[in-house]
């Protein structure tokens, strides 16, 4: 089952700023560990919904949606997708890719 993380602006800024590298590294590691353990991760930030999941062939798929509306299979609706990408690195690389 996917874990949902709600990142407020302060937490997001903590991930992005270099003023406290240990906090940044710890937060990235928490998200990356969850992604590795569960194979997927979903969270909301600034009224957008982010989904990262492991692909068998490509590494990690990253999708961004305008709504958390899902279908009967608990998948985000493609009609709400506004961006997406592929990260061929590891779980931590995928989280960093998403936040850049």
**pLDDT, position 17:** 59
> CA 33 to CA 17: how far, in whole Å?
20
> CA 15 to CA 26: how far, in whole Å?
9
Written as six digits, the tokens of 61 are 């798929």
**pLDDT, position 98:** 80
**pLDDT, position 56:** 87
Domain ranges of the chain: 4-99
Q: Which residues pair with 52 in a beta bridge?
A: 41, 62
Q: Which residues pair with 44 in a beta bridge?
A: 6, 49
Q: Is the pTM for the entire model greater than 0.85?
A: no
Written as six digits, the tokens of 100 are 């850049």
**pLDDT, position 91:** 93
**pLDDT, position 79:** 97
Give, for all 100 residues of the chain, the pLDDT tens digit.
Answer: 455 555 666 666 656 655 456 656 777 888 899 999 999 999 887 889 999 999 988 899 999 999 999 999 999 999 999 999 999 999 999 988 887 7
Distance from the Cα of residue 85 to its chain's centroid: 11
């Amino acid at each position: 089952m996917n874990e949902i993380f709600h990142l407020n602006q302060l937490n997001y800024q903590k991930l992005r700023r270099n003023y406290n590298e240990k906090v940044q590294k710890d937060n990235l590691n928490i998200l990356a560990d969850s992604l590795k353990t569960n194979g997927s991760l979903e969270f909301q930030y600034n009224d957008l919904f982010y989904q990262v999941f492991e692909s068998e062939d490509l590494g990690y798929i990253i999708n961004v949606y305008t709504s958390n509306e899902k279908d009967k299979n608990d998948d985000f609706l493609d009609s709400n997708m506004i961006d997406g990408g592929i990260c061929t690195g590891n779980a931590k690389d995928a989280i960093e890719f998403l936040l850049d």
